[in-house]
Amino acid sequence: KEKVEITKEQQALMKVIADAYNRHQIPQDVAKKLLQDQYSAEENFLLLTEMATSQVQVLVEFTKNIPGFLSLNHEDQIALLKGSAVEAMFLRSAQVFSKKMPNGHNEVLEDRIRRSGISEEFMTPMFNFYKSIGVLHMVQEEQALLTAITILTPDRPYVKDQQAVERLQEPMLDLLRKLCVLQHPQKPQYFACLLGRLTELRTLNYYHAEMLTSWRMNDHKFTPLLCEIWDVE
Q: Is 59 in the site for ligand 9LS (CB under 6 A)?
A: no
Q: Candidates 2-10, 13-21, 28-36, 216-224 — which segment interacts with ligand 9LS by CB under 6 A?
A: 28-36
Would you call 97 helix, strand, or coil by DSSP?
A: helix
Near ligand 9LS in 103-162, by CB under 6 A: 109, 113, 116, 118
**Nearest distance, CB of residue 146 and ligand 9LS, angstroms:** 15
Query: What is the rounded CA–CA span in Å between residue 87 and residue 153?
Result: 11
Interior CA angle at 108 toward 105 and 111, to 5°?
Answer: 150
**Nearest distance, CB of residue 157 and ligand 9LS, angstroms:** 20
H/E stretch holding 146: helix 140-151
Task: Select from 22, 95, 14 the least CA-distant residue to 58.
Answer: 22
Name the residue number minimizing CB distance to ligand 9LS.
Answer: 97
Q: Is 34 in the site for ligand 9LS (CB under 6 A)?
A: yes
CB-facing half-sphere around the CA of 50: CA atoms within 13 A: 9
Q: What residue type is 7 in one-letter code?
A: T
Binding string, residues 203-232; x marks residues near ligand 9LS by CB under 6 A: -----x--xx--------------------
Task: Select from 112, 98, 93, 81 the least CA-distant residue to 52.
Answer: 93
Interface residues with ligand 9LS (CB under 6 A) are: 26, 30-31, 34, 44, 47-48, 51-52, 55, 89, 92-93, 96-97, 109, 113, 116, 118, 208, 211-212
